Amino acid sequence: MTDKKVHEVVMIGAGPAALTAAIYTTREDIDTVIYEKGVIGGLAAITDWVDNYPGFADGIAGLELAENLQKQAERFGAKIELGEVLSVKDEGKYKKLETTDGEIYAKAVLVATGSDYKKLGIPGEQEYYARGVHYCATCDGAFYREKDLVVVGGGNSAVQEALFLTKFASKIDLLVRSELRASEVLINELKKNEKITIHLNTTTNEIVGKDNKVIKVIGTKNAKNIEFPTDGVFVFIGLLPNTKFLEGSDIDLDKQGLIITDDHLMTSMPGVFAAGDVRSGATMQIASAAGEGATAALRIREHLENY
């Protein structure tokens, strides 16, 4: 091991959880390297506007929040590498990480790779992302006061988010590909809400825009095309945790592919921690991800003190 560079902490993913954790570790002079394969800031960076992050009374652009977190972590000495971690292996005292830049070793690892929203994969979805197409009602619902919306999905999350959006929207069309899969309690609440019209056995085929904003959704019902004029589309068909690189490892995942941790945010592999949206039980909010990052940093410090 003497010929290998060993970091005290390697963090995988550079979203709010890891960047917050890095602020804490580097302030205590703990050697910290962050690997990010995509966008620094994660989903927060590509969220148009964040209204519910504490300390910003008027809200803040997601990209600006991500940039501030990055600058703060780097100010204390965090090093961010643009590259992908391919696997994490337990080699006893050290963890070996296979990366696109070769092998690296760490005394502790934080996995904070987050989750990504499942996409419909239809025309217009990518083109109008954050400009009429959204995946988070609590993040973006307030932009649609007294507007018409389309919500896509039929599970618990879709129904819950549709009900939440009635606080803002004047009318909601809920497009369900087959039948509602939500709990009976939620379905009963849904059916009582006069703002929501349920469209069962309705596919979502295209999102159409004009002048840089969404104007309608085209779907199919009973083999016939049907159009839904709308000011925005919210898609709730599930999340995909970014844990594919951990499949087959000694790190336990739940049925959804999220990382299982103990009360100290440690995974089933000693010395490997997880925080943020990638962790089983996470609330999928930027503020809570930052909080978990701070907690993980303190647990990592304890781990290194007992190293």
**Any idea which residues carry the catalytic annotation?**
136, 139-140
Look at residues 45, 42, 43, 39 and name the one whose alpha carbon lies nearest to residue 61: 45
CA dist 19 and 66 (Å) reads 9
Burial of 290 (0-12, 13-18, 19+ CB in 10 A): buried
Burial of 179 (0-12, 13-18, 19+ CB in 10 A): exposed
Beta-carbon count within 10 A of 262 CB = 10
Return the SS3 of 266. Answer: strand
Helix or strand (DSSP H, E) at 116: strand 115-117
